[in-house]
Amino acid sequence: MTGSLEGRVAIVTGAGRGIGRAIAEALAAQGASVVVADVGASIAGDGADPTPAREIASAIGKKAVAFTESVASPGAARLLVDTAVKTFGGLDIVVNNAAILRDAFVFRADPRDWDAVIRNNLSAPFYLINAASAVMREQGKAGRGGKDGYEWGRIVNIVSSAGLYGNLGQAAYASAKAGLFGLTRVAAMDLQRAAITVNAVAPFARTRVTDVIQPANEAQKTYKERALKIGAHHVANLVTALCAPAAKGITGQLLGVRGREVFLFGQPRPVDRIEVGEPAALADALVATFGGKFTDLTTDLEAFNTEPLV
């Protein structure tokens, strides 16, 4: 794929560290110009430090620029898109990776923490998709990307297995990530005619999130030990592949990556049905017909607590 993204312009949020940094570097290695967007906050979303974003942009070189404002507002998202267009002449790739974490059991959670996580992990990606897709659609109409139509448009949302399975104490984080997959599906539908693909990737890799896990039992301890072995470059490889020309037909999909393993997740669809007779008997009918097919309460840590391929 060497040079396969030459001429493309990408925005990667949360690109100052971990997975975001690996993605920004991988896209740049394939020829893309990159806006390294990272406010430099803590994993809880506190504080700000422009240093990480500036250092990564400097390391990448002339094809990168740092953006160090929080994108958790419509105005900042538009400014980020404008920065990409004014600096590099367009925008073709958006990777929504930035996220914060404020865990608590639902009966102890502070509603203000809920609001902050939803704003940063779900609303901010919407703001950026909203601003970026408008520009990308107009670029397609103007002929950017060649005479065969606009095939450069790519949006990749970094979700989480916590949003698919659930995990103890992660109501806000899991809800935001589940919502981000819902946004992925709708955006894929809305942008299909414009030939802009939208996909979601659930990563398994060492990040600040795995670093702060405090194991409550041996299973969680083992999960953390395994997660710490997995490099972020594997996630970057998948995201870069989704941005390549050969991936133009992949959209609306939910993929996972754990080391050298790539998963295609199924999406919620009916697995059975019953015809309702008397409402009073409905509960009994649910148990009798669906009981063996109910989804259990396995957490994502339990579901993927096996040795990764690294």
- DSSP notation for 209-235: HHHT---SSHHHHHHHHHHTTS-THHH
The per-residue pLDDT of the chain, averaged, comes to 94
Confidence of residue 216 (pLDDT cuts 50, 70, 90): low
Task: Give mean pLDDT, residues 251-263.
Answer: 97
**Calpha distance 57→65 (Å, rounded):** 5
Nearest Cα to 3, choosing from 290, 294, 245, 248? 245
156: three-class secondary structure by DSSP? strand
What's the pLDDT at 207?
80
Contact between 14 and 39 (Cβ < 8 Å) = no
> What's the pLDDT score for residue 209?
74
Q: Decide if 224 is catalytic.
A: no
pTM of the predicted model as reported, rounded to 2 decimal places: 0.95
> 233: pLDDT confidence band, cut at 50, 70 and 90?
very high
DSSP secondary structure letter of residue 280: G
Of 2-6, 100-104, 148-152, minimum mean pLDDT range: 148-152
Cα(250)–Cα(242) distance, integer angstroms: 8
Q: Take residue 193 and report the two structure tokens written for it.
A: 């005619």
For residues 107 and 29, what is the distance between their CA atoms, to the nearest angstrom?
46
**Confidence check: pLDDT of 15 > 80:** yes
Q: Does 17 score more than 70 pLDDT?
A: yes
Among 32, 2, 249, 3, residue whose Cα is nearest residue 15 = 32
CATH fold group of domain 9-268:
Rossmann fold (3.40.50)
Residue 72 neighbours by CB under 8 Å, 6+ apart:
119, 120, 123, 124, 127
173 is catalytic: yes
Other Cβ atoms within 10 Å of 58 Cβ, number = 12
In this prediction, residue 1 has a pLDDT band, given cuts at 50, 70 and 90, of low
> What count of other Cβ atoms lies within 10 Å of the Cβ of residue 112?
9
Q: How confident is the model at residue 278 (pLDDT cuts 50, 70, 90)?
A: confident
Q: How far apart are CA 301 and CA 51, in angstroms?
A: 33
What is the model's pLDDT at position 225?
Answer: 83
Q: Which of 33, 133, 160, 161 is catalytic?
A: 160
Is the C-alpha dihedral spanning 122, 127, 128, 130 positive or negative? positive
Sheet holding 64-67, edge to edge: 64-67, 33-37, 9-13, 93-96, 154-158, 197-204, 254-258, 261-264
Convert the pLDDT of each residue in 135-160 to its tens digit: 999 999 999 987 677 889 999 999 99
Q: Are 162 and 203 in contact (CB under 8 A)?
A: no
Q: Which residue has the higher pLDDT, 11 or 215?
A: 11
The per-residue pLDDT for range 151-208, each reduced to its tens digit, is: 899 999 999 999 999 989 999 999 999 999 999 999 999 999 999 999 999 999 888 7
Q: How far is CA 213 from CA 137, 168, 305, in A?
A: 41, 12, 14
Per-domain residue ranges of the chain:
9-268
Phi, psi (deg, nearest 5) at residue 158: -85, 110
Q: Tokens in use for 177?
A: 């990530």
Average pLDDT, stretch 255-274?
A: 96
- Model confidence pLDDT, tens digit, residues 41-58: 999 999 999 999 999 999
User: Among residues 173, 175, 224, 248, which one is catalytic?
Assistant: 173
Handedness of CA 125, 136, 3, 263 (dihedral sign): positive
The answer to whether residue 65 scores a pLDDT higher than 90 is yes
Count of beta carbons in the 10 Å neighbourhood of residue 119: 17
Per annotation, catalytic residue among 127, 133, 150, 177: 177
